[in-house]
Amino acid sequence: MLQIHDLSFVPFITSTEIEEAIAKVAQQINKDYTHKTPLFLGVLNGAYAFTAALTKKITGNCEVEFTKLKSYAGTTSTGNIQNLIGVGNLKGKDVIVVEDIVDTGNTISEIVKILEAEEVASYRIATLCYKPEAYKKSYKIDYIGLEIPNKFIVGYGLDYDGLGRNLPEIYQLK
Ligand SMILES: O=P(O)(O)OC[C@H]1O[C@H](OP(=O)(O)OP(=O)(O)O)[C@H](O)[C@@H]1O
Ligand SMILES: Nc1nc2[nH]cnc2c(=O)[nH]1
């Protein structure tokens, strides 16, 4: 069991399962982008670990950038998304958004608005974890590492009030 602040978590996804999920996503992207140079847009903070691991498995040329959005306070989405680091010039780029988790979809919805305003050539969404029961939007999530139930998780980039991002495996709220 793992204690972070006031909450207890139990082991949920092993580091081996995470690595297998990332390899599967990388394989799909390598196949789909053979003749393209995708720009991976990692969403900080949570997606730093997934972005690093995923891009190391990309076999062709690619670019890597980050943007920073924040909506979660504690274990719930505030619904109020702050854009803390904007995107650079993405015009004409084939962007792959990299998320650690798609939950309600509020963050993705904000990113899609930004990408459309930037006039990107194309965009797709890749996420390590996806909660289908919590998702409230209709944007297609193109690359999904792991489908998980609607329970709060920490580890592999995901935090609870700032802690837990460094854990190599994923834990679920008890
Ligand atoms: O689909 P949603 O309900 O919008 O949730 C997903 C978002 O929540 C987390 O970010 P958070 O706002 O906690 O910021 P962080 O990445 O800095 O932890 C996560 O990294 C996603 O970006
Ligand atoms: N740490 C963490 N952040 C999230 N953001 C959206 N869903 C989650 C979750 O389950 N865990």
One DSSP character per residue, the chain reads: -EEETTEEEEEEE-HHHHHHHHHHHHHHHHHHTTT---EEEEEETTTHHHHHHHHTT--S--EEEEEEEEEEETTEEEEEEEEEE-----TT-EEEEEEEEESSSHHHHHHHHHHHHTT-SEEEEEEEEE-TTT--------EEEEE--SS-EEBTTB-BTTB-TT-SSEEEE-
Report CA(85)–ligand 2 centroid distance (Å). Answer: 20
Specify the higher pLDDT residue, 71 or 17.
17
Output the pLDDT for position 27. 98
pLDDT above 90 (res 13): yes
Task: Find out whether the beta carbon of 77 lies less than 6 Å from any atom of ligand 1.
Answer: yes
The answer to whether residue 169 is domain-embedded is no
How many angstroms separate the alpha carbon of residue 43 from the centre of ligand 2?
13
pLDDT at 79 over 90: no
**Domain membership flag for residue 105:** yes
Question: Lowest-confidence range among 64-73, 90-99, 121-130?
Answer: 64-73
**Domain containing 122: what range?**
19-162
Which ligand 2 atom is at minimum distance from the Cα of 158?
1
- 119 or 81, which is more confident? 119
Give the model's pLDDT for residue 41.
97
CA neighbor of 111 nearest in space, from 143, 75, 63, 66: 66
Measured CA to CA, the distance from residue 67 to residue 108 in angstroms comes to 12
- Using omega within 30 degrees of 0 as the cis cutoff, is the peptide bond preceding 45 cis? yes
Asked if residue 127 belongs to a domain, the reply is yes
pLDDT at 110 over 80: yes
pLDDT of residue 104: 95
pTM above 0.90, yes or no: yes
> Which ipTM was obtained for this model?
0.98
Question: Which CATH number covers residue 120?
Answer: 3.40.50.2020
Asked whether 51 lines ligand 1 (CB < 6 A), one says no
Please check whether residue 31 lies inside any domain of the structure.
yes
Is 73 a residue whose pLDDT tops 80?
A: no
Give me the pLDDT at residue 78, please: 74
Decide if 65 is inside a domain.
Answer: yes
Identify which ligand lies nearest to the alpha carbon of 160.
Answer: 2
Domain count, the chain: 1
Q: Does pLDDT of 19 surpass 80?
A: yes
Q: Please indicate whether residue 107, judged by its CB atom, sits closer than 6 Å to ligand 1.
A: yes
What is the 149 CA–ligand 1 centroid distance (Å)? 16
Assigned domain for 84 exists = yes
Segment among 6-10, 73-77, 136-140 with least mean pLDDT = 73-77
Is residue 169 within 6 Å of ligand 1 at its C-beta?
Answer: no
**pLDDT at res. 87:** 83
Q: Is residue 143 part of a domain?
A: yes
Q: Tens of pLDDT along 34-49?
A: 999 999 999 999 999 9
Q: Which atom of ligand 1 is nearest to the CA of 68?
A: 17
Give the mutation target among 4, 44, 68, 72 for probing the ligand 1 site: most ligand atoms within 8 A of CB: 72
Q: Is residue 106 part of a domain?
A: yes
